[in-house]
Each structure stands twice: as C-alpha cells, then as structure tokens.
C-alpha cells in the first residue's frame, strides 16, 4: 500500500497541452462563448474543483507579469496561442471539451 502522499500525487491531474489551451482561453476570453462554467470545465477535464481556476489564475499572472507559481508550461502556452484569434481558439477548446465525457 502506498503512503497517502504518494497516493495523492498519483491521483493528480496530468495537464495536456489542450487542457492548458483551455485555461488560457478562459483567462483571456472568459466562459461566456463556450457554454461551460469553470467548475464544469474542471469536472470534464477530470480534476479537483480548485485546480482549473488555479491554473487560469497562474496564466493570468504569467500574462501580466505578476508574482505567482506560474512556470515554463504557462509561458509556453502563452507563446503558442497568444497571437491566434479568439474564434480559432474557441473552436479548439470546444472540440476538446466536447470530447471529454465526464
């Protein structure tokens, strides 16, 4: 039997590039045009209630240069998607979220 700390770590969500894109989109454009709330997005992606909003906040901090726990993954996501248009990003996010059956 694993120690509790290892059990918790093994149950942590592994963020895909599309999960990161979804957090980036929500930070930049909100949820109004995608039809899913932050809690629903988190559930669909299979994570705890606070994980998705926390990642959105990390991306916000990385975009504005604030002090946070953001790291290379957030910076990479911003570099990849910041110049893309809202409609193109929305289509990618919706395809990802609709493919998640949670």
Whether residue 40 lies inside any domain: the answer is: yes
**What is the structure's pLDDT at 102?**
55
| Residue 72, domain member (yes or no) | yes
In a domain, 27, yes or no: yes
Question: Contact 84/92 with Cβ under 8 angstroms?
Answer: no
Say how far apart CA 55 and CA 35 lie, in whole Å: 19
12 token code pair: 């942590």
Q: How confident is the model at residue 9 (pLDDT cuts 50, 70, 90)?
A: very low
Burial of 64 (0-12, 13-18, 19+ CB in 10 A): exposed
- Statement: residue 23 has pLDDT above 70: yes
- Give which of 49, 47, 32 is closest to 94, Cα–Cα: 32
Q: What total of structural domains would you count in the chain?
A: 1
In a domain, 92, yes or no: yes
With respect to residue 68, please indicate whether it lies within any of the assigned structural domains: yes
**Secondary structure element (H or E) that encloses residue 47, with its range:** none
- pLDDT per residue over 46-91, tens digit each? 998 789 999 999 999 898 886 667 788 999 999 999 999 999 999 9
pLDDT at residue number 70: 76
Mean pLDDT score, 19-26 = 97
Whole-number percent of the chain with pLDDT over 70? 82
Greater pLDDT, 43 or 49: 43
Query: Is residue 9 a part of any domain in this protein?
Result: no
Range of the domain at 57: 15-99
Say if 6 falls within a structural domain: no
Nearest one of 47, 46, 48, 26 to 94, comparing CA atoms: 26
């Amino acid at each position: 039997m694993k120690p509790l700390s290892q059990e918790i770590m093994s149950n942590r969500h592994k963020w895909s590039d599309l999960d990161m894109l979804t957090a980036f989109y929500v930070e930049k454009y909100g949820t109004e045009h995608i039809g899913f709330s932050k809690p629903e997005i988190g559930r669909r992606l299979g994570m705890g209630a606070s994980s998705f909003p926390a990642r959105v906040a990390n991306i916000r901090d990385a975009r504005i240069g604030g002090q946070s726990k953001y790291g290379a993954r957030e910076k990479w996501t911003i570099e990849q998607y910041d110049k893309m248009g809202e409609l193109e990003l929305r289509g990618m996010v919706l395809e990802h979220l609709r493919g998640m059956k949670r």
